[in-house]
Chains A and B, each alone.
Chain A
Amino acid sequence: MTYARGLKPLSIATVVATVVGFALVFFYAPVDADQGFVQKIFYVHVPMAIVALCGFVAGGIMAIKHLRSRDPSWDMRSYVAIHMSIILGLGVLITGAIWAKASWGHWWVWDEPVLVSFLVVFLLYCVYYPLRFSIEDPERQARASSVFAIAAGAFVPINFAAVRLAESFTHPRVLSQTGGDLPGEMRLTFLVCLAAMSLLFVTLWKLELTSKHAAMSLKRLRTRLAAAPS
């Protein structure tokens, strides 16, 4: 298994994209006429939310591959993708709360569908850990986790579509049919930040897979050495 392949150039690309993204946020993108300087949170909050939701869906797709092939490496990929998305999801909730406090005067608004739906998705995926680790048999664990990942992964786009259909005037829409009405400089900055966040996700995903694979190989080697006649 070669999870570590291409990790070094990917890491360099991630660092470069992140530095360029942050530079664009603070030195290139104009200050929003409506929200002022606080709108800069948008460039970290929204890409993180998009990448986290895509990661959940990707975890579901990898779980389908696992159930079709019975290859445990796909289960591991799915698990790590979901794990990464939960970490980013936590970041989305915290940065969102900070932005909400600065813009609306409240840390959380319960009647806003976008916020509540993201919280529902986040809490749904928090169930993944106890479900996964309550099953000891590795094969059953992988199968049950995959079924959960597929069901929850399918829920994410449905939930997203349902929220878009709901009328709301509080939370801004970014990915609308008109392109979110972002001016050119803001759009470019947003796209660079989105690319940086995607690269960060893939880099950390590969790094975590490499670490898990090394740990499993070491465990197998220990078992083999212990069983070998001295």
Chain B
Amino acid sequence: MPALPLDEAGKYVAGAYVVFVALILIYVAILGAKIARIAREIDEMASEK
């Protein structure tokens, strides 16, 4: 298959990099939410005592 023109190839390249960045951001967001929940629970325990 011949090489795609830049405007056509750009969409695919952008798509691939967006997938990578989105995957990492979603993962970090989930991890961030978990850590925030742990911090909240620690605060709750501290206020109970």
Contact = CB atoms under 8 A, between A and B. Distances in A.
Given A37-B4, A99-B12, A102-B12, A94 B19 contact: yes
A83 B49 CA distance: 36
A102 B19 contact: no
A48 to B, nearest CB: 7
A131 to B, nearest CB: 22
A37 B38 contact: no
Contact of A103 (B1, B10, B38, B41): B1
B44 to A, nearest CB: 10
Contacts of A69: none
Interface residues of A, number: 35
B35 interface: yes
Interface stretch (A146-154, A173-181, A214-222): A214-222
Contacts of A41: 12-13, 16-17
B5 to A, nearest CB: 8
B16 A95 contact: yes
A29 interface: no
- B interface SS class: helix
A119 interface: no
B31 interface: yes
A37 to B, nearest CB: 4
> Quick one: which of B16, B27, B31 has the most chain A CB within 10 A?
B16
Contacts of B38: 211, 214-215, 218
Nearest to A22: B17
A37 B20 contact: no
B29 interface: no
Contacts of B13: 37-38, 40-41, 102
Contact of A222 (B1, B5, B45): B45
Contact of A90 (B23, B31, B35): B23
Interface string A180-215: 000000000000000000001000100110010011
Contacts of B42: 218
A126 B3 CA distance: 35
Given A211-B34, A211-B35, A218-B42, A44 B20 contact: yes
Contacts of B20: 44, 48, 91, 95
A140 interface: no
A199 to B, nearest CB: 12
A36 B1 CA distance: 11
A37 B10 contact: yes
Contact of A98 (B19, B31, B35): B19
Given A44-B20, A211-B35, A218-B41, A34 B12 contact: no
